[in-house]
Structures are given as C-alpha cells and as structure tokens.
Homo-oligomer: A and B are copies of this chain.
Amino acid sequence: MEHYLERRSQLILEDRVQRVDALRLQNLTELEKGADEVVRKIRADEAKTVWGVSSSSIFDYVPDDMSPNVFPGMAFLTARDVVVNTKLFQILTKMPKGALLHVHLDATVNAHVLLKLALAEPAVHVRASSRVTAESLKGTLPEFQALPLNERTSDSTSLTDENYIRSEWVPLYKARETFSAELGGPQGFDRWVVNALTINPSEAYGTLDTTAKIWAKFSSVFRIAHPLIYHTPIWEEYIRQFLLSSIADGISYVEARVNFLAKHMTGPDGLENVPHREWFVIYERVLDEVRSQLVKEGRADQFVGSRIIYTTIRFVTPEELEWYLEDCLALKQEFPHLLAGFDLVGHEDSLRPLIDYIKPLLRFVGRQKEVGVEIPFLFHAGETLGDGNAPDNNLYDALLLGTKRIGHGFSLVKHPRLMELCKEKGVAVEVCPISNEILRLTSSMPMHPLPVLVNHGVHVALCSDDPAIFGNMGLSFDFFQVLVASEVTGLITAGEFARDSIKHSTLNEEEQAAVLALWESRWTKYLQWIVEEFSSALQP
C-alpha cells in the first residue's frame, strides 16, 4: 500500500509538472503556504454555505425541489449578486492583478456612467426607427450621433410622442427628460438605453442562448455605443474612467484594443473629422494626467502605464486592410511607446478568416523592417466551438504569422502541436473566462477548457474582454470564477497568472523587470494582509 501511494504521488507530480505553478508549489514560503491555506479554506466553506443549497441528494431525491440551481463557477450573470457578497471575492478585489492584456476599450466603462457622460454633451442626439411605445420598446433600439450645429433642431419632439417622426434626431438630454411617464420617464429611458448597451441573464441564458444569437446582440451593443464613445469629449473621460477603475481593482498596466475601423471620430462640434493620431494624443494626455494624480496621492507604485493595440475588423477586404496597416505603421512611428501591436477583431465564426489576409499581413512584416519598427501581432484566434472550421483554423495562421499572444484561443486545447508551439515560442493565451461563458462557448467555468491549457503548461493571462457589456469590471470577477472552479488552482496559481500577464506584455525586458519588482512587493503585502485578516477562517 505504501508503495502504491508513492507511485500515485509520483504520477500526480509527473502529470502536473508542466503547470506554471509547479516549481513554486514545491518551494513555498511560510507566508505563501499560510495565505494559500486560508483561501482554500474559505473557498471550501463557501462551496457549502453559499453554493450548496439543494434539498435533493442522490440518496434522497425531492421531486418538487425548488431550490435555486447554484454551484461554484455557475453562469456569471445569474451569480454576480451572490459573488460580490462572498469573502473570497472580497479577498480577490484586493489582489494585485498585474497586467490586463485583452480588453476592448469601447466596452470598459459601465453603461450608466457612459450615458451620464453622454448626457453632458450637447452635440449628442438620439433617434429610433419609429415612435417608442410600450409595445415597441423591447423591439426598438436607440441610435446615437453627435451632430454638427447646422443639423441640430430646437423643435424636436419626444421619442415617445405620437407626433415623433420616424428616425428624427432628438438631443439626448431632451429625449431623456421627455420620455413618457407611462414608459417610466427618465428612469425608463435609462433602462431602455442600458438594456441596449449590456447583455442581461434572460438574453444570455434564455432567448439568445446560442453563440450565434448572443453575438448578434453583442455586436449590436458595439454599434450602438460607438458614436457615443468615439466623440472626443466623451472619449477623453471614457479613457480616464477606464484607467481609474482598472487601477482601483489592482491592475498595474493595460494594453487596450482600440477599434480604428472608422477613420475619424466626431469632435466637440459634432463634425466627424478627428483623425487617428488625435485619438492617440488624447489617450496619452489622459494617461499622463492619471499618472500625475497617482503620484500626488502617493500611489505611483500602483500603475505603470497603458498602451494601445491597433485593431480593425475582420470584414474589411484584404485591399482595404492595406490602408489600415500603413496607418498603423505611421502611428507606431509617431507614438512608438504607445502602440503595442496589431490585431484583427470581430466574430470569428462569421467574418473573414486570417487566411484571407495572409498577403497584406506578410507584406506588413516586411514594411516594418523597411521602416525600422516592430509591431507584434496579437491575434484573436480560436474563439469558437468549432473543430476544424475556419475560426478554429485561425490558430494555425496566428502562429505561422508569429503572433506574440493569442486572444482567446478557446479551441487551442484541440491542437496538441499548437499547444507545444505556444510553449516553444513563448506565446501566451489571453483567456477571457466570463466573456467565453456569456458568449456561450461554455455554460459555466467548470466546463471551461482553462485547466487543460494550464495542465499542458501553456502560459495564460486572465482577461475581462468587454466588462461594460458583461458586468465583470476589473479582473476580480474573472479570477473568482477561475478559482472556484478548480481544486488545483489556488492563490499561488493566481499569482503566477498575474506574473505571466506582465511577462507576456509588450513591455521590454527592463520595463518588465521594473513592473515585476513593484508587483512582487505588493503581492507580499497582499499575502500578509490575507493571513492577518482572515486566518481566523482556519480555526476549527
């Protein structure tokens, strides 16, 4: 028996030797061991007290058991209110998260906040395809636009008025004020708008419960929000809100994907004439202001900066892509410190696969050498349930093109050779647990393939993707879902994910070393805090 147990321990060790936490777990400090134990204990307790409430058991089935369908790692939109009240979540909100490497800038600020920002802008107008009534409310989407002075009218009516003319523009603040009391007045207006800018549980888990349908709603959110966010006065405040809320959640560095499909955004005058380089200028200005503010508050160690990943969308033609690649190149030359890399985004299941763009992308690599810059590819790939279809095959092209990281890589676990390649080439996967679940690639975290990647030794960084739409602001929610869905992955592994997010950023070696040093010092304090604050959890 002793011999058997020895062989067993040996086999488990061999099986887990590729994990990023393997070495560290064998050499834990007392502090690490202590904090890890506390978190494991709290997780185990809450698995019962918070998530284990069914009155049926396999020995005693209660046919009319009406207890809620809850379990650790369950569907996030239903679980969110429960999650925020757990001890484990409170612990994770304080965790220094490292870098946030996969987030779409235009889905990072709470929809209520965005609406508030927009209400302050006189240029912003709203319209609907027909009068909004109790019957049409659910089926009608708002459309926003910043208008130049000569297109604004002073005598517009209410969206809910019987005299509303199909598609007539109404100033945003006025549309809100005059929204019919029958439909809830201004609060009803807010609900209508926020519902169009977020995904709710009855959509994700009910009416739109397929990857194709939920993506239709998801894309619609981006289309609706776009004219608001890509309006310079809002853009500026939006970036500030995003950075401040990230820092508040313990994120030290951000590489944000920005959508450069539109060649201009609107300025304060409502004219659509602000070119891409101005977007960078504003981004940099806000970044500097945020940094100065942190310095003043003595919190300089909490944030080291942010970069932009240039993206356009996978429905441009290969010919159209050439323009964007040259644009990206020019911006990299002007803002070398600010432009992190290049990506193509959008719904992989229905848009063009990477293979369509090989020629311009290979030429782009050559052009970088000519010009003397380096713009790493950071491709979305394998964000699909497919096995051997075009979006799954994007993984081959992303890696052959030399991508530095893979966005999502949900289907990567189906590719043994590609997982090896990721390890050989130091390619990390930007895993977005809650995004994958809400977009119906998985129904809950315990079904998510993350442990397959981790146990095969693929490096990952946890990411939030589109927190404004999903409600997973910061990274605490994603870390929470990952931690409750595994007995192997604990606090120590979470720390390794954070380290890996820094090591796989586009920062250069010295920059990374500096960020890591800052992070390590915060991490140690964090572990101390856990042990001091929660070690009573270990009492019997």
Which of A11, A138, A389, A393: most chain B Cβ within 10 A? Answer: A11
Q: Considering only CB atoms, which chain B residue lies closest to A70 in the complex?
A: B210
**A399-B7 Cα distance, complex, nearest whole Å:** 11
B217 touches A397 (CB 8 A): no
Interface range for A: 35 or more
Check if A112 is an interface residue, CB within 8 A of chain B. no
Check if A162 is an interface residue, CB within 8 A of chain B. no
Check if A113 is an interface residue, CB within 8 A of chain B. no
Check if A173 is an interface residue, CB within 8 A of chain B. no
Task: Indicate how many identical chains form the complex.
Answer: 2
Picked from B12, B58, B212, B218, the residue with its CB within 8 Å of the CB of A219 is: B58
Q: Which of A238-246, A459-467, A483-491 contacts B (4 or more CB under 8 A)?
A: A483-491
A71 touches B211 (CB 8 A): yes
Q: Which of A267-275, A283-291, A447-455, A528-536 contacts B (4 or more CB under 8 A)?
A: A447-455
Q: Smallest CB–CB gap between A2 and chain B, Å?
A: 11
Known: A15-B417, A414-B452. A209 touches B69 (CB 8 A): yes
**A435-B216 Cα distance, complex, nearest whole Å:** 31
Picked from B362, B385, B455, the residue with its CB within 8 Å of the CB of A414 is: B455
A212 touches B71 (CB 8 A): yes
Known: A387-B487, A387-B488, A388-B488. A400 touches B11 (CB 8 A): yes
B-side contacts of A66, CB under 8 Å: 207
Of residues 8 to 60 in A, which have CB atoms within 8 Å of B's CB atoms? 8, 11-12, 14-15, 17-18, 54, 56-60
B71 touches A210 (CB 8 A): yes
B418 touches A388 (CB 8 A): no
**A66-B359 Cα distance, complex, nearest whole Å:** 41
A11 touches B396 (CB 8 A): yes
**A396-B13 Cα distance, complex, nearest whole Å:** 11
Q: Considering only CB atoms, which chain B residue lies closest to A412 in the complex?
A: B452
Check if A442 is an interface residue, CB within 8 A of chain B. yes
B-side contacts of A488, CB under 8 Å: 387-388
Known: A15-B415, A387-B487, A456-B416. A65 touches B213 (CB 8 A): yes
**A58-B141 Cα distance, complex, nearest whole Å:** 15
Sample of 24 A–B contacts (CB below 8 Å) = A1-B358, A1-B362, A4-B358, A8-B355, A11-B400, A15-B415, A54-B213, A56-B216, A58-B216, A58-B218, A61-B217, A62-B216, A63-B141, A64-B139, A65-B216, A69-B207, A71-B210, A71-B211, A385-B447, A387-B488, A388-B486, A388-B488, A388-B489, A414-B452
In the complex, the 10 A-B pairs of residues with the closest C-beta atoms, listed nearest first = A388-B488, A385-B446, A61-B220, A56-B216, A443-B443, A387-B486, A15-B417, A388-B487, A64-B139, A58-B219
